[in-house]
């Protein structure tokens, strides 16, 4: 049943959502931190970090001020992280240094194009 007009608002609704940039930095840091670890410790840290981020995102999404900018920021974090990791991780298949660099730059260009298009579309919406 919907809350009555006299019922107090939930505590999370009275607090504003964090700025999209803060959300982006948090998701990016979590993505990079998790992907820099290997082995079982990496799995354990990934479970904790992903769980904490999921709880935070669910709570923040119910706050006033949460919008599509926040959704884009949450998606942009891992995309930018993947572009950064492309430079730090060796190629999967044998490749010359030039081929590896071209591949890494191409990943970055694709990520920038995707995020630029998404941001432009978001700005055009009323």
Could you report the per-residue pLDDT of 68-103, keeping only the tens digit for each? 999 999 999 999 999 999 999 888 888 898 999 999
Domain residue ranges of the chain, discontinuous segments joined by +? 18-124
Mean of pLDDT values over 38-62: 93
% of the chain at pLDDT higher than 70:
90
Band (pLDDT 50/70/90 cuts) for residue 14 is confident
In the chain the first and final C-alpha atoms are separated, in Å, by 31
Rg (CA), the chain: 19
Please report the pLDDT score of residue 52 as a whole number.
95
Contacts of 2 (CB under 8 A, 6+ apart): none
Query: Nearest Cα to 61, choosing from 25, 12, 28?
Result: 12
Question: Rounded to two decimals, what is the model's pTM?
Answer: 0.78
């Amino acid at each position: 049943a919907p809350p009555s007009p006299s019922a107090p608002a939930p505590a999370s609704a009275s607090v504003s959502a964090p700025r999209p940039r803060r959300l982006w930095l948090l998701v990016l840091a979590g993505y990079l931190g998790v992907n820099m670890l290997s082995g079982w410790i990496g799995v354990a840290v990934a479970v904790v970090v992903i769980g904490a981020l999921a709880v935070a995102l669910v709570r923040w999404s119910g706050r006033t001020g949460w919008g599509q900018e926040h959704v884009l920021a949450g998606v942009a974090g891992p995309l930018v992280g993947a572009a950064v990791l492309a430079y730090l991780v060796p190629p999967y298949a044998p490749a010359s240094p030039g081929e590896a660099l071209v591949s890494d730059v191409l990943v970055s260009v694709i990520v920038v194009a995707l995020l630029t298009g998404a941001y432009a579309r978001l700005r055009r919406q009323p």
